[in-house]
């Protein structure tokens, strides 16, 4: 169903608007334009439109479009790469000389950082130092912002993904994002989880039910919602919505999960529940979390990275184990930041 009527376009945009990855620098109008540009340019159908802002970045997927077998392993129930990598102790992701430009302006430059498999890496640093931009590069969500350019290298399990030619949709199934503001689809709880599975070809009702129950169990939501799976996901509390969004990412069995300030829009109790949930993913998934909460980074992180703006460009100041960063920082800036003297 191509969307031709401008009034309907506006209506769809209004629905989609809150679901898009939030970015302060991307105005509503730009987001709207972006949706239509992608929608019309790529002849995306309505459901694919809806899929655009999903946490795994399923945007622009045309119905019937195949996945890139070079990037996406065909077996949906493949063993978690994180677990395999944990055994081989290779980083799940490795960036080298990674830079990102919005137009001519660099958001960050020359970042070389490993992201260890099965571990939790916390990225901290003051506002505007490129934390979210860095996360967005890791599953190429930056492709959705016109005028962005990546240079350098990002290897996912040895595969170069900074390369223009990779299938970004397949990549985003392996590397999912959870945003600051919970963004469930305006569907039932069941449909929120069934939808990405159905888009990936799983139609059998029993199998869908099983996978959905497992994902809801994984995020500790099953007992809270099992009697109302057909009610709107929008009726859930903020913390429950965020756990549903995490379940929606988990249901596709990704290898890496990127959390961009996942607790900052939640009340303290929900924040604690989501934090515990993220900590419980250790070992089964590779996790990167951006947080402004240093205590949280210290509680749940295995590794930490401090980003900072220097000469108007984001830089990686220091990377190390959580213990080293907090108790024996090598850089004076890190020491000042973790001790609350700067930032």
Ligand X SMILES: Nc1ncnc2c1ncn2[C@@H]1O[C@H](COP(=O)(O)OP(=O)(O)OP(=O)(O)O)[C@@H](O)[C@H]1O
- Binding residues for ligand X, rule: CB under 6 A, are 23, 25-26, 102, 107, 127-133, 145, 314
Total residues at the site for Mg ion (CB under 5 A)?
1
CA-derived radius of gyration, the chain: 19
* b/e sequence 194-228, b meaning 16+ C-beta within 10 Å: bbbbebbebeeeeebeebbeebbebbbbbeebeee
Among Mg ion, ligand X, none, what binds residue 133 when CB lies within 5 to 8 Å by partner kind? ligand X
Shortest Cβ 212–ligand X spacing (Å): 32
Tell me the C-alpha distance between 197 and 254, whole Å. Answer: 12
Closer by beta carbon to ligand X, 173 or else 298: 298
Exactly one of 85, 94, 121, 132 binds Mg ion (CB under 5 A); that residue is 132
Shortest Cβ 128–ligand X spacing (Å): 4
Tell me the C-alpha distance between 6 and 50, whole Å. Answer: 17
Closer by beta carbon to ligand X, 146 or else 230: 146
The answer to whether 219 touches 300, Cβ cutoff 8 Å, is no
Q: Can residue 296 be called a binding residue for Mg ion (CB under 5 A)?
A: no
The answer to whether 157 touches 90, Cβ cutoff 8 Å, is yes
Closer by beta carbon to Mg ion, 81 or else 121: 121
Q: Can residue 136 be called a binding residue for Mg ion (CB under 5 A)?
A: no
List the end-to-end C-alpha distance of the chain, in Å, as a whole number. 50
Q: Can residue 48 be called a binding residue for Mg ion (CB under 5 A)?
A: no
Shortest Cβ 129–ligand X spacing (Å): 4
| Residue 116 β-bridge partners | 91
Closer by beta carbon to Mg ion, 132 or else 334: 132
Tell me the C-alpha distance between 133 and 258, whole Å. Answer: 12
Among Mg ion, ligand X, none, what binds residue 129 when CB lies within 5 to 8 Å by partner kind? ligand X
Closer by beta carbon to ligand X, 120 or else 123: 123
Binding residues for Mg ion (CB under 5 A): 132
């Amino acid at each position: 169903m191509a969307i031709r009527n401008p009034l309907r376009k506006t209506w769809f945009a209004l629905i989609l608007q809150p679901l898009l990855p939030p970015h302060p620098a991307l105005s509503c109008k730009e987001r709207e334009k972006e949706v239509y540009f992608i929608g019309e340019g790529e002849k995306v159908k309505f459901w694919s439109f809806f899929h655009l802002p999903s946490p795994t970045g399923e945007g622009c997927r045309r119905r019937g479009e195949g996945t890139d077998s070079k990037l996406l392993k065909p077996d949906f129930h493949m063993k978690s790469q994180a677990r395999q990598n944990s055994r081989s102790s290779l980083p799940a992701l490795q960036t080298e000389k990674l830079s990102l430009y919005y137009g001519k302006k660099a958001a960050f430059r020359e970042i070389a950082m490993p992201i260890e498999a099965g571990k939790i890496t916390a990225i901290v640093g003051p506002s505007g130092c490129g934390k979210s931009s860095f996360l967005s590069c890791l599953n190429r969500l930056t492709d959705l912002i016109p005028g962005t350019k990546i240079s350098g290298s990002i290897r996912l399990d040895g595969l170069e993904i900074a390369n223009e030619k990779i299938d970004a949709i397949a990549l985003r199934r392996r590397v999912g994002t959870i945003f600051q503001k919970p963004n469930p689809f305006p569907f039932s709880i069941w449909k929120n989880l069934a939808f990405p599975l159905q888009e990936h070809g799983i139609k059998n009702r029993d199998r869908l039910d099983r996978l959905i129950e497992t994902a809801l169990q994984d995020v500790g939501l099953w007992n809270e919602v099992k009697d109302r799976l057909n009610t709107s996901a929008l009726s859930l509390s903020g913390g429950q919505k965020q756990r549903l969004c995490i379940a929606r990412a988990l249901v596709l069995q990704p290898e890496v999960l990127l959390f961009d300030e996942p607790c900052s829009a939640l009340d303290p109790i929900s924040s604690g529940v989501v934090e515990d949930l993220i900590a419980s993913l250790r070992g089964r998934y590779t996790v990167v979390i951006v947080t402004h909460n240093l205590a949280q980074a210290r509680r749940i992180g295995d590794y930490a990275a401090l980003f900072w703006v220097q000469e108007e460009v984001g830089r990686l100041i220091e990377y190390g184990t959580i213990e080293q960063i907090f108790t024996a920082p090598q850089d004076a800036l890190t020491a000042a930041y973790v001790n609350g003297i700067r930032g």
